[in-house]
Amino acid sequence: MTYCVAMRLRAGVLFASDSRTNAGVDHIATFRKMNLFEVPGERLVTLLNAGNLATTQSVVSILRQRAKEGAGQHLLNIGSMYDIAELVGRTLREVVARDSEGGGQHSQGVDFGANFIVGGQIRGEVPRIFHVYPQGNFIEATEDTPYLQIGESKYGKPIIDRVIDFESSLTEATKCALISFDSTIRSNLSVGLPLDMLLYRTDSFAPAQPHRITHQDPYFSALRQGWGGGLKRVFAELPDGDWFSPDQLGS
């Protein structure tokens, strides 16, 4: 399993992913799940992936190869982020059909499915992010729902729901995303460090500079400790219900 999150804000976009893959408790490995495609000054495209590792690696490899060859439509020349999401979905369906020998996402006792978050900015558009489903269809983040998650999302979702909206700053988004990862890592062994995070400011078209967060990262460590300690303090300060008395439990 894995956990990835992307946020589309007025200020820019954030992408973050863990790097753990596992096929059982005795087969755990680390693979980067963030892939970048850039044309300096013109576009930045980011892919995050979750699901069948063979499927996701094949999809990314095909997209890279076709962009390198430069023939037809590819990630570096296609006209909009919507068209890029459609291309990723089409490539995903192609790989699943090939590897399952036409049997579809669930075939031969294997789940060939995968999910992608596709996002970034192409000059002439605002930044956009999409969730591409295993079937190849997709949805787009909006100002009302400015973030998308794939993988083991349920543990990190509550903090994002409470904190993030379209007007949040990239600094706030960074803190919130890392806390959502901390909550997920604490609750699910299939998600783990290191994490990869990329921040992109709207209309900057600056070279992508992803940051890798390990166990030794001082900022992440400080956030984990501060968040855990803060939760305990707030919990201790909450009032007891006036309908409940410990004396009612007897001895």
How far apart, in whole angstroms, are the C-alpha atoms of residue 241 and residue 31? 47
Q: What is the pLDDT of residue 243?
A: 78
CATH superfamily name and code, 3-237: Aminohydrolase, N-terminal nucleophile (Ntn) domain (3.60.20.10)
Structure confidence by residue, pLDDT tens digits, 93-137: 999 999 999 889 998 889 999 999 999 999 999 999 999 999 999
Q: What is the pLDDT of residue 1?
A: 74
Ordered by start, the domain boundaries in the chain are 3-237
Q: What is the pLDDT of residue 29?
A: 83
Q: What is the pTM of this model?
A: 0.94
| pLDDT per residue as tens, the chain (251 positions) | 799 999 999 999 999 999 988 755 566 788 999 999 999 999 999 999 999 999 999 999 999 999 999 989 999 999 999 999 999 999 999 999 999 998 899 988 899 999 999 999 999 999 999 999 999 999 999 999 999 999 999 999 999 999 999 999 999 999 999 999 999 999 998 899 999 999 999 999 999 999 999 999 999 999 999 999 999 999 999 998 877 666 666 55
Q: What is the pLDDT of residue 28?
A: 76
